[in-house]
Amino acid sequence: MIYIVRILLVVAAYLTGSVPTAVWVGKFFYHVDVREHGSKNAGATNTFRVLGLKAGLIVFAIDLLKGFLATQFVYASSFLPHTNEWVLFQIILGAAAVAGHIFPLYAGFKGGKGVATLLGISLAIHPWATLCSFLVFVTVVWLTRYISLGSITGSFAYPFFLIFLFHVKTPALIIYACIIFLLLVVTHRKNIKRLIRGEESKFYFRRKLMEAQNKKMSETSRP
């Protein structure tokens, strides 16, 4: 019986990840399918570019929450907390959520790249190493204005923080950290090609903030 429960938990994690936040926010509130604009990716970054700061933050927060929530299903799995098996099942649940985000059942299996969802999973599994990696991400984006480069660099730093800074010995977690980096390289392969060609779009937070403020002012000034 417990094996059936665990299988159902993995399915539930996939369905949780399948919620196409960027697609639904775009269609329901802006009448825009973000998959037809910008980088054509159904994620927070492209939502920032296409729909603005507010929509991007909403999508980012919900996508992060999807990953965090999926890992919490481990509490119904009967594994002993914080053992290697416990962490491994958390990773399996997280992987199912990321698969749902990339291949969402509710949006024709055409989703995003899973960065925010992976961040939510990692926060649940090892928050301190994740926050250090997020700091690397923010620093790289601030210096280069490339979100894709920040994502790849942050994920590359993650296993090093786990092993050398926090001295993690759990095999499942170390393997997971390495897989995250490889997954982000694969899902960002088009971005990497654009970076090499110098064609990748840069992100300017201040500009997006000003655009959002101007849009709000224009809306309030209408009769």
pLDDT at 145 over 80: yes
Do the domain assignments include residue 133? yes
**Where in the sequence is the domain holding 89, given as residue range(s)?**
2-211
Task: Give the pLDDT score at 205.
Answer: 62
Do the domain assignments include residue 119? yes
Per-residue pLDDT band for 202 (boundaries 50, 70, 90) equals: confident
Do the domain assignments include residue 218? no
Do the domain assignments include residue 87? yes
Q: Is the pTM of this model over 0.85?
A: no
Q: Which residue has the tokens 């296409």?
A: 50
Do the domain assignments include residue 36? yes
Q: Which residue has the tokens 């999508």?
A: 59
Do the domain assignments include residue 219? no
Do the domain assignments include residue 222? no
Number of structural domains found in the chain: 1
* Dist CA 22 CA 46 (whole Å): 9
Q: What tens digit of pLDDT does each residue of 64-76 get?
A: 999 999 999 999 9
Do the domain assignments include residue 95? yes
Coil vs helix vs strand at 219: helix
Helices (H), 83-126: 84-102, 115-125
Q: What tens digit of pLDDT does each residue of 16-73 get?
A: 999 999 999 999 999 999 999 988 889 998 998 889 889 999 999 999 999 999 999 9
Q: What tens digit of pLDDT does each residue of 60-111 get?
A: 999 999 999 999 999 999 999 988 899 999 999 999 999 999 999 999 999 9
Per-residue pLDDT band for 114 (boundaries 50, 70, 90) equals: confident
List C-alpha distances in Å: 43 to 32, 123, 170.
Answer: 14, 19, 31
Tokens coding 14? 């996939």
Q: Which residue has the tokens 């897989």?
A: 179
